[in-house]
C-alpha cells in the first residue's frame, strides 16, 4: 500500500494527480455519516421493498406451481380421453369389419340363391319351349302326313277301288 501512495504522491507532484490522505479535506467523515444515515433509515424502506418483492415472487411461484398442477391434471384427463377415444375407435372398427363380413356373406348367399333361381327359371323356360317346339313339330308333321295321305288316296283311288272298299266295309259291319 505504501508503494501505491508513494507513486500517487510522485505523480501528483509532477502531473497534478494524486491521492489526498487528509481525512478532513476529503470529507471521509461526511461520507461515513451519510452512509450510516442511509443504512439506518433506508434499511426499513429497502427492507420493506425487498420483502414486498420477495412476497410477490413467492406468490408468482405458487401461482405458477398451481397452474402447472392444473396443466398436469388437464393433460392426464385429456390423455385418458384420448385413450378412451382410441379404444372406442378400435371397437367401432372391429364392429364395422364384423358387419362388413356379415353383409358380404349375406350378399354372397343372396347372389348364390339368385343364380340358382335363374338357372331353375331358365331350365323351366327351356323345357316349356322344347315342349312347345315338339308340339308344333308334331302338328306340322301330322298336317303333312294327312296331306300326303290325301294326295296318295286321290292318286290311287278310282271308282272301282272305292266300290270294293265300300263293300268290304259293309260286310264287316254285318250286312
Highest-pLDDT range among 39-43, 45-49, 96-100: 96-100
Which three cell numbers mark 27?
470529507
Q: 19 pLDDT band (50/70/90 cuts)?
A: low
* Whole-number pLDDT of residue 61: 95
The answer to whether 19 and 9 are in contact (CB under 8 A) is yes
Which three cell numbers mark 119?
338357372
The alpha carbon of residue 151 and the mean position of all alpha carbons in its chain are separated, in whole angstroms, by 87
Across the chain, how many H-helices and E-strands are there?
Answer: 4, 0
Cα distance between residue 167 and residue 175, in whole Å: 9
Over residues 128-169, the pLDDT tens digits come to: 999 999 999 999 999 999 998 888 887 777 778 878 888 888
* Whole-number pLDDT of residue 16: 62
Q: What is the pTM of this model?
A: 0.41
Amino acid at each position: 500500500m505504501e508503494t501505491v501512495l508513494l507513486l500517487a504522491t510522485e505523480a501528483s507532484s509532477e502531473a497534478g494527480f494524486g491521492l489526498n490522505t487528509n481525512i478532513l479535506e476529503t470529507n471521509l467523515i461526511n461520507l461515513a455519516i451519510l452512509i450510516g444515515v442511509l443504512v439506518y433509515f433506508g434499511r426499513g424502506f429497502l427492507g420493506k421493498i425487498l420483502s414486498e418483492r420477495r412476497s410477490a415472487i413467492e406468490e408468482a411461484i405458487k401461482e405458477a406451481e398451481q397452474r402447472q398442477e392444473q396443466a398436469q391434471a388437464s393433460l392426464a384427463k385429456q390423455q385418458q380421453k384420448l385413450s378412451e377415444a382410441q379404444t372406442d375407435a378400435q371397437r367401432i372398427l372391429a364392429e364395422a369389419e364384423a358387419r362388413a363380413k356379415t353383409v358380404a356373406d349375406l350378399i354372397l348367399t343372396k347372389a348364390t340363391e339368385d343364380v340358382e333361381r335363374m338357372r331353375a327359371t331358365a331350365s323351366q323356360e327351356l323345357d316349356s319351349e322344347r315342349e312347345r317346339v315338339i308340339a308344333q313339330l308334331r302338328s306340322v308333321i301330322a298336317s303333312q302326313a294327312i296331306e300326303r295321305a290325301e294326295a296318295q288316296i286321290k292318286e290311287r283311288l278310282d271308282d272301282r277301288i272305292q266300290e270294293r272298299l265300300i263293300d268290304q266295309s259293309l260286310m264287316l259291319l254285318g250286312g
